[in-house]
Structure formats: structure tokens, C-alpha cells
Amino acid sequence: MRKSTFPLLILILFLACKPKTEVSILLHQVSVIDLKSGQIYPDQVVLIQGDSILLSGGDSLRSKYSGKIEIDAESKFLMPGLWDNHVHFGGAEYIDENEQLLPLYIAFGVTAVRDAAGDIPIEVLQWKAEINSGKRIGPKIFTSGPKIEGINSVWPGDLEIGSEEELDQALDSLEKLEVDFVKITDNTLSAQLFRSATQKARARGWSVSGHVHPEITLDEISKAGLTTIEHQSYLLRAATPEVKQIRDRRISNKLSSKEANELQINTLSDSVAEINFKKFAAQGTGIVPTLLISYNIAYLDSLDFSGDTIQDYLGPKLKESYQWRIDRYALEDSASRKMRKLIFEASARLLPMAQKAGMKIMAGTDAGYLNTYDYPGLAIHRELALMVKYGLTPLEALQASMINGPAYFGLEDKYGSIDSGKKASLVLLNSNPLEKIENTLSIQAVIVEGKYYSRADLDKILLEIKNWVRDKQTGK
């Protein structure tokens, strides 16, 4: 008797009609950028479930999955969200204007920021918690809280210390605030306490960022545990054979800051820089160049910012805070302005040397209040362009933002690539940033921890901010 094929047909029909698994977001035909290798994988499907990436792969995934939101991303490029690794929220009298920067960052594809101190740390910590819980739109915030300084610091909001006991109390307070890293600067802080603060903060498990005290060499503070040097110009102090002589003469007041700058410029040595940068890399010290703010100020006499429409999205008092640098620059003579340019150009050309030596470079901008024409959101795009102009490849610049940023906090397993299990904080671009770094601005959509913002959504966010600023300016 012939065996019936009916059960087999039923099984085939069942498998053919098996319902697809629904995910939160499905992107298809997208070109995925691998920031580690620089490879681009075309015609990919990326599946997002909740706040994380579920899978990525070929078009066959579409036979098994559907999306509540499905995006045809043909001819578009997907990369991790941008990290601006040095920003400032501040201005206690215009906290509301700082609040408006949070959605502005998202509109420019910045999904994480590293807040390097200001005078409104409690508000920043509250925003951080609200963003993490989904109650507020904004980038993921990593903050130092108030920075450590000496007595009578010129910057408001600092933790001012004058003794080891006060240092310990300051670090205790930062632990209670649950800050993500520690920031130290040298306005009035003694060299001894600067070094001790670095060592003690590292001993408590924090990464430590800072300026570098003029009485301490970069090698000394690197060995003490400084994780990142903030601002490229400090590297000039490690690019001269006169480094210890300059330090000793500064301690004995035989050399002014101006004279030290001139001596550094006149004795620059690529070979010395290479040796020292390799030492810093081996000792775990990286650099956050913040090229943009130095470039803006060095060339303030020739740059025209009047056409920057992003100023329409910044509050009036925040923009007013730019004026102090403008006023200071106006009082400088031609020799001082020339020296600014020399310092900028000399330090910027060290960037590829630091990269080659193995120092971790983190892309950060100094954006926020006080820092003239250093616009939150837009700034990281301009910073990356300057990094490429001064010697990095587009891939290296992107890595400095989106790979080295998470690595600073030990979060490589959550951010920096488009892989299963990583957080779904992504930017969809119309053009390839590896071909032209300025293409980071060709934003078609942003995904923040699994929440999708189309171009129309981003434009709506921008319009709301613009209207808020207009009403603020007119007193409505």
C-alpha cells in the first residue's frame, strides 16, 4: 500500500507559514561600518530588541524576523552613536539653557558625553539618572562631578582643598555622588596635592583626567596614574629635551609661562616626543586633544562664526558666556596672537605621533558654556574634521570617539560596534564617513538605547529647541 504524503505536506505548509519573530526595530539593506577594521558590510539586516542589538547579518534574516519599525536603509551607512568625550554643563544662573543641550546632542547624533566638570553637578547627576531611566531625552552622561582644585580657585563649583585631609574628604564626597571619573586642574592646587590627588583617586578605582601642573612633568604625572591629559597643548611639554630644565626653572620662578612656551616651541624634537609618547602609552596615559576650542581661539581674528545657524539653538546666557574669551583676545597684542597660533599648530602636528606611539586618543571638544563658538552637538563633528586635517585617518578619528570613549570606562562590551548584545545607540548616515569625515553630519536617523528618531523626529526636536530659545530671548 502506498504511504500517504499528506502529513509531509502539512509539515511543509506549517514551516512555510510559521510566524516571524517580531523585534523592536529592523533595518535592512544597510551598509554596516565596522570601526575596528574599517570594513563596510553592505546589504545587512540589523535587528534591535529593546535597548540592544539582537542580531545582524544577511537578508535571510528577513524571512525569520519582522520589526515593529522597519527601515529601508538602502544606500545608507550605520555606525555607533558619537561620543563627545569632553563637554561641560555649567552656568548656575542658566541651568534651563543647559537642559536644552540634552536633546540637541541627540539631534546631532551624539549618544554619549563625558562631562568634565562644571558648577551644576547635582543637576547633571539628576539628568544622568533621568536619561538612564528613560524619563528624559538626552545622551548617556558620564560625569566627574565637581573637579578637584586648590583654595580660591577661579572656577566656581570646584572642590577646593589645601591639605591631604581635605583631599580625602573631597574624594569621599565624590564617592557619595557616585561620579564616573575624577577631574583635577591646577589653577591654585599645589603640585604635591595634584600628584597625591591623582594617586589617591586611582587607588579608589577611578580613571583620572586633568590638566598638568607646571611643576610636574608629564612623565611624573603619568607614572602617578593620570589616565587622560586634557588638551593637546600639554603634549608640547613632552616634546622637548628641555622638559626637566623648564620644570625646574618654573619651580624657582626663573621662567614665566610665556617664556616656557617660547622655549618649548624653539626646542621641539620629534624623536623626544616619540620616546615620551611611547612611555605614556605603556603607562596607560591617553590624550583628549580638544583641538576645536584651541583652533577657535588661535584663529579668532580670521574665523567668521556669524553664519553658524546652530547659534539659534543655544540660550542667550550661554552665548553671552562666550564673550570673555573674545574680550581677552581683543586685548592681546600681535605677538601674543602669533604665539597662540604657533602653539596650536605645533601641538596639533603631534597628534599623529601620539597615535603612532600607541597613546589612546579620545575625541572631545570642550563644548558648553564659556568656550567660545564650541557648540554642543555640532562640535564633535568639527573636532573629528580637525583630527583628520592634522593627520589622523577618518577611521582613527571615529575610533577616538566611539571606541576609545567607551573603553575609558571599561564599556567595550556594550558600545563601539554593531554586534549582538551591544547597546543599540546608533547613527544612520546618508553618506560614508570613512570616505569623507564631514559625512558624519549626513544624519538620517538616530537610535538611542533602542529608541528610534527619524529625520523628521530630529527636525521636530530642533524646532522645539529653536522655539524655546526664541521665547527665552524675547521674554515670553
DSSP string, 252-299: TT-S-HHHHHHHHHHT--HHHHHHHHHHHHHTT-EEE--HHHHHHHHT
* pLDDT interval class at 262 (50, 70, 90): confident
Residues 182 and 148: beta-carbon distance below 8 Å: yes
Residues 128 and 139: beta-carbon distance below 8 Å: no
- Same domain? 60 vs 121: no
Please indicate, yes or no, if residue 471 is contained in any of the structural domains.
no
- Same domain? 380 vs 429: no
Q: How many CB atoms lie within 10 A of CB 162?
A: 14
- Same domain? 297 vs 327: yes
Q: Cα 245 vs. chain centroid, distance in angstroms?
A: 34
In the structure grid, which three cell numbers stand for residue 55, read together? Answer: 542580531
Q: How many CB atoms lie within 10 A of CB 379?
A: 28
Please indicate, yes or no, if residue 132 is contained in any of the structural domains.
yes
Please indicate, yes or no, if residue 41 is contained in any of the structural domains.
yes
**Domain range for 428:** 21-79+419-453
Mean pLDDT of 168-180: 97
- Same domain? 60 vs 170: no
Please indicate, yes or no, if residue 414 is contained in any of the structural domains.
no
The number of domains in the chain is 2
CATH of the domain at 340: 3.20.20.140
Express each pLDDT in 372-403 by its tens digit. 999 999 999 999 999 999 999 999 999 999 99
Cell 596650536 belongs to 344
Please indicate, yes or no, if residue 435 is contained in any of the structural domains.
yes
**Interacting residues of 436 by C-beta distance below 8 A, sequence separation 6+:** 394
Phi, psi of 51 (to 5 degrees): -100, 10
Burial environment of residue 268 by CB neighbours within 10 A (0 to 12, 13 to 18, 19 or more): middle
Express each pLDDT in 177-225 by its tens digit. 999 999 999 999 999 999 999 999 999 999 999 999 999 999 999 999 9
- Same domain? 288 vs 385: yes
Express each pLDDT in 25-38 by its tens digit. 999 999 999 999 99
Mean pLDDT of 330-351: 95
pLDDT at 173 over 90: yes
Please indicate, yes or no, if residue 180 is contained in any of the structural domains.
yes
Express each pLDDT in 109-163 by its tens digit. 999 999 999 999 999 999 999 999 999 999 999 999 999 999 999 888 999 999 9
